[in-house]
Chain A
């Protein structure tokens, strides 16, 4: 009874016993053995998958996650099979999720005020504040509140399940956030900015933005309560907007940007909202599906993905 860890090409990297002395029973033990005796790659960089032939015939998922036993993936001494194969991939250098989040939100938090001061005050912060239209000041405050809130949540509220991601994501995410921040700030903080004509629209935007930011915070707080510190536990969220949709935090985020755009009325901000909403819809779809897969009939059938009653 043994477990053969191979490259996708079929080259064997390490053979581990499943019985007797030194037998491996969990995914973490396999990863540690690979780090020690195999290709000497840190366990966080390792991705272990079942061969596609094994996943086709059964309902088990292909990726061997840390913190699980091998028999959850059908690798068991009790079955008749004597030889198991697992594919190994080096994911490359990793960075922590928390680090990526802090870096990507830092850009917008810093760039918006810089562009505000540079374009409206010619480098003088107080002059910029005085020269700006009140709606531009409101936009600066709203933007800063949003990203300061995101930073604080990253540091003190979120409990991440996947500890790391490939470092390329850091570059990609930062380019997205920093680029859009500069693009939106350029127009919102432009000296020739045209404020929205209707006060009602502006104030409706303010209300929508504030309520959504609060709702988003409540959602994040409730998600935190679902996971005891230091674990990777997943539970069905209940209460508040979670009764209507699987991902109300995304719904709130999109509505908050809708409010921001009602306050400021720029094409750039609208583009930022549309691209963000599209990305969040993809994530919401995935999360909804994994809830359904994990909890099956226990998951409330009434719940939609992101848009109450509709989607």
Chain B
């Protein structure tokens, strides 16, 4: 099996996995919405949708879904309904999330082997920070998180899964095209403009939500880590080593302060570059001159 075939299969599998997670999320949100909006005596005809309580319920779900955890606390999303929903969601998606997020370690292997153009250090940082949040602050304390309101899990799950569905769709198309064309076509000849647009625009909203949810998860786990002495090593020992995981988490949190604006501006730059290239490409297509088109410059696909 060639590298290109493997990359296509990998991306397609992860696209499938993340779509599964995203659908699970949709189903749960839909169920919650239905429960909240249509549980009353009012029927589910069109007229009732416009009635005030229904509008209220809808805005409640939408706001709760898309707002980062600190904002949710500010808006008072802490009642038992909401808590039950988040706990339910945790139970139905955590295992899937663990599986498909852990598999992405393979991406680091791809980068190290030079199969993809992404830099190994950036890829390692991205994957490790996610796995760190997922395994050590959420999965480890899942049972106590399920009992708290505004655990941040919903924000985390929706930001991550929506980003990844689009990202892997992009890479699936790209790797299929590069496999089928033998690497002759460039990125913007393979990927439809709308998909490129989604890939380089959704982060504008999802990135702040995802990052705030990650920070929230770590902050929430800090007292639990201290209580349980999780991953703690004390002196004295013959290797003269000590490790305090809550201190490590606090230092990692400080890393978000310079990291966030840096990454966000880096992604804004990438957005401009890719969308410009894509629009140039689609303009060329529209012109459809009989003269052979000059191939668009190859862009870094990371």
Chain A residues near B (Cβ < 8 Å):
187-188, 190, 192-194, 197, 264-268
Chain B residues with Cβ under 8 A from A265's Cβ?
238-240
* Interchain CA distance A154-B54 in the complex, whole Å: 75
Chain A residues with Cβ under 8 A from B236's Cβ?
190, 192-194
Chain B residues with Cβ under 8 A from A267's Cβ?
239-241
Q: How far is the CB of A38 from chain B (nearest CB, A)?
A: 28
* Interchain CA distance A187-B233 in the complex, whole Å: 13
Q: Decide yes or no whether B237 CB sits under 8 A from chain A.
A: yes
Q: State the main secondary structure of chain A at its contact with B.
A: loop
- Name the residue on A nearest B238 (C-beta): A194
Q: How far is the CB of B278 from chain A (nearest CB, A)?
A: 22
Contact with A along B219-253 (1 / 0, CB 8 A): 00000000000000001111111100000000000
Chain B: interface size category: under 10
* Interchain CA distance A264-B239 in the complex, whole Å: 9
* Interchain CA distance A188-B235 in the complex, whole Å: 11
Interface contact B238-A266, CB-CB below 8 Å? no
Interface contact B240-A264, CB-CB below 8 Å? yes
Chain B residues with Cβ under 8 A from A193's Cβ?
235-236, 240
Chain B residues near A (Cβ < 8 Å):
235-242
* Interchain CA distance A267-B242 in the complex, whole Å: 9
Chain B residues with Cβ under 8 A from A197's Cβ?
238
* Interchain CA distance A268-B236 in the complex, whole Å: 14
28 A-B pairs within 8 Å (CB atoms) are namely A187-B235, A187-B240, A187-B241, A187-B242, A188-B240, A190-B235, A190-B236, A192-B235, A192-B236, A193-B235, A193-B236, A194-B236, A194-B237, A194-B238, A194-B240, A197-B238, A264-B240, A265-B238, A265-B239, A265-B240, A266-B239, A266-B240, A266-B241, A267-B239, A267-B240, A267-B241, A268-B240, A268-B241
* Interchain CA distance A197-B237 in the complex, whole Å: 12
Chain B residues with Cβ under 8 A from A268's Cβ?
240-241
Chain B residues with Cβ under 8 A from A192's Cβ?
235-236
* Interchain CA distance A267-B240 in the complex, whole Å: 7
- Name the residue on A nearest B242 (C-beta): A187
- Name the residue on B nearest A270 (C-beta): B239
Q: How far is the CB of A181 from chain B (nearest CB, A)?
A: 16
* Interchain CA distance A141-B236 in the complex, whole Å: 23
Chain A residues with Cβ under 8 A from B240's Cβ?
187-188, 190, 193-194, 264-268
Q: Which 7 A-B pairs have the closest CB atoms?
A: A267-B241, A192-B236, A266-B240, A192-B235, A187-B240, A194-B236, A194-B238
- Name the residue on B nearest A188 (C-beta): B240
Chain B residues with Cβ under 8 A from A194's Cβ?
236-238, 240
Q: How far is the CB of B271 from chain A (nearest CB, A)?
A: 20
Chain B residues with Cβ under 8 A from A187's Cβ?
235, 240-242
Chain A residues with Cβ under 8 A from B241's Cβ?
187, 266-268
| Max chain A C-beta neighbours (<10 A), residue from B235, B239, B240, B242 | B240
* Interchain CA distance A238-B236 in the complex, whole Å: 47
